[in-house]
Amino acid sequence: MAEVRFDDKVAIVTGAGGGLGRSHALELARRGAKVVVNDLGATIDGSGGSSDAARQVVEEIIAAGGQAIANGASVTDDAGVAGLVRQTMDQWGRIDILIANAGILRDRSFAKMEVSDFNLVVDVHLMGTVKCAHAVWEIMRAQNYGRIVVTTSSTGLYGNFGQSNYGAAKLGLIGLMGTLKLEGGKNNIHVNAISPVAATRMTENLLPPEMQDKLKPEYVTAGVIYLASDEAPTGAILTAGAGVFALARMYETEGVYLGENGLSAEEVRDNWERISDPTGHQAYTAGGEQTMKFLRKVQAG
C-alpha cells in the first residue's frame, strides 16, 4: 500500500504548541504538508498566552526539512481566526486540512461550577472549532476539497465526573460534525472526529506515572493522519490511544409502535423492555433516517 502523503497540501492545526497538537503538526509536516502551527500559549485553564510554544514547533519542523509558520491567535477571537486564515492564504494560497485541537479544562462538580467556567470551556472547544471551520469552509468548497478533524472526548460520549462543561462541548462537536459531513459531501469535504486517550498537559494530574509512557500523543496522531488523508471516511468518531483504535457510534433501537390514541406514561413504562431491546439497532447517518423509521412503524401498525 502507498504511504499516506500530504505533498502540496496546507494544514492548520490549532492548539499545536504541545501535546496532541504538536504531534499532529510534526507528523503532517513529515509527510509533506505545509503546516500552520496555531497556539495561544495559554495554561490548561485558558489563562495567559504566548506564541513561544508555536514558534518552537515551527523551528522543529523547519529543522527537519519541512515548511511551517506560527500563529498565536485564540480560536475564540473572531478577528484572530480571520487573521489565521488570512495569514495561511497569503503564505500558501489554499487550506486543505483543519485539525481543530485547541482546548482547555476547568473541572469542577456541577454543583460547584461557575457558569463562567462552563461558558469558557464551551467557547474554546465548541465555538472555537465552529469559528475555525466556518472560516475555512468557503475556501474548501471552492477547492472542492477539504478535510476537517474535530477533537471530541470520551467525556462527551459517555460522561465523566466533574466535567459537565467539557462533556457538553465535546458532544456538541459530534452534532456539528454530523451536519457538516452532509453539507460538505458534494464538495469533497470530509469531516471526522478523533476521541483521544493520551498523556498530555491536560491529563498529567489524572493518570498514574506508569501509564504516561503507554499513552503517547503519537499513538493518537496515527488516527488523525488517516482522518485527514485523501482516503478518509466522513462522519466517523475514531477513538484512539495506547495503540488501540475503535469506532464509536450512536445507536438507536428499533423501538415499538404503541399507537396514536390513548398513549400514556404507563404504556411507555410497561413497554420499556421492548423499547430498549437492542435487537436490530442501527447507527443512522442522518436525522431523516430516524424519521423514516418512525413513519415505517406507523404504517406497519
What SS3 string covers the chain? Answer: CCCCCCCCCEEEEECCCCHHHHHHHHHHHHCCCEEEEECCCCCCCCCCCCCHHHHHHHHHHHHCCCEEEEECCCCCCHHHHHHHHHHHHHHHCCCCEEEECCCCCCCECCCCCCHHHHHHHHHHHHHHHHHHHHHHHHHHHHHCCEEEEEECCHHHHHCCCCEHHHHHHHHHHHHHHHHHHHHHHHHCEEEEEEEECCCCCCCCCCCCHHHHHHHCHHHHHHHHHHHCCCCCCCCCEEEEECCEEEEECCCECCCCCCCCCCCCHHHHHHCHHHHCCCCCCECCCCHHHHHHHHHHHHHHC
- Is residue 257 flagged as an active site residue? no
Choice among 145, 166, 219, 226 that is catalytic: 166
Q: Which residues are catalytic?
A: 166
